[in-house]
Every structure is written in C-alpha cells, then in structure tokens.
Amino acid sequence: MPNQLRLSGFVELKRELGTFAPDARDATRPILAARATDARDELVAAYPSITGALRAGVALIPRIGRGIAAVITLRSGSDHAHLYEFGTVHAGPHATFLPITERARRASTDDVVDYVEGQGIKVSRLHD
C-alpha cells in the first residue's frame, strides 16, 4: 500500500478564521516581534565574538504574510554561520541558532494561541 498523507479540517478552519477580526495580523505582529527580538538578542549573546562577523550577521526581517499571517524571519547571515552551527573537520558543532529559534517559535505560537483564545476562538488540538 502506498504512503498517504490526509489533511482535513480546512473547511472548519476557514469558517473559524472568517469570524476572526480583520486586524488580527496587526494585533499579533507585536507578539511575534517581541519573541523574535528576544531570540535575536539571545543568539547574538550566544555567538562568540572573535571577528564579530557571526554577531553582525544576525538580523530580523519582517515579511508580509498571506491573509491574517504575520511573519518575521530571524536570519544568521554570516558567511560562516553554518560552519559554526554544524561544525567542520577541524571544529565541532555548536548548536546555537536552531535551539534558540525553536524555543522562540514555540513560545510565540503559545502566545498567539492565547491571543486567539482571548478572541473567543477555541484552540482544541495540540499546536506546534
């Protein structure tokens, strides 16, 4: 039997989101911005400062999401950020970016769920 992936509930989700305030993106953007700023600051503090390139490469990039989506990207854009993160044959890995951003992403999801529930929309499943 071939592998299958079935996704359901989109009609119900669309109906629920239709009841959501049109300015929801603007209301949730500060929630995401605060968590993204905290993650940026934590990442900058966690990176070593030898040449300063790792720290200087960390940036927040606001994006325009579709519909009610608010999106902010945290980027580590130094030329050698991936070498620091994943290691080389001469230096071991330093898991920094991924753990910090994953914690911030989960925390921002929890904050947005709290906001959504405060608007009267029930969030009944585990969220990730």
- The predicted structure's pLDDT at residue 79: 93
Res 113: pLDDT: 85
pLDDT at position 90:
95
Cα 93–chain centre separation: 22
Print the SS3 string covering the chain: CCCCCCCCCHHHHHHHHHCCCCCHHHHHHHHHHHHHHHHHHHHHHHCCCCCCHHHHCEEEEEEECCCCCEEEEEEECCCCHHHHHHCCCCCCCCCCHHHHHHHHHHHHHHHHHHHHHHCCCCCCCCCC
Q: What is the pLDDT along the chain (128 residues), one digit of tens a residue?
A: 455 555 666 677 667 666 666 676 677 888 889 999 999 999 999 999 989 999 999 999 988 777 667 788 999 999 999 999 999 999 999 999 999 999 999 999 889 888 888 877 777 766 55
**Entry pTM:** 0.77
pLDDT at residue 6 in the model: 59
30, amino acid identity? P
> What pLDDT was estimated at residue 1?
47
CA distance 21 to 69: 12
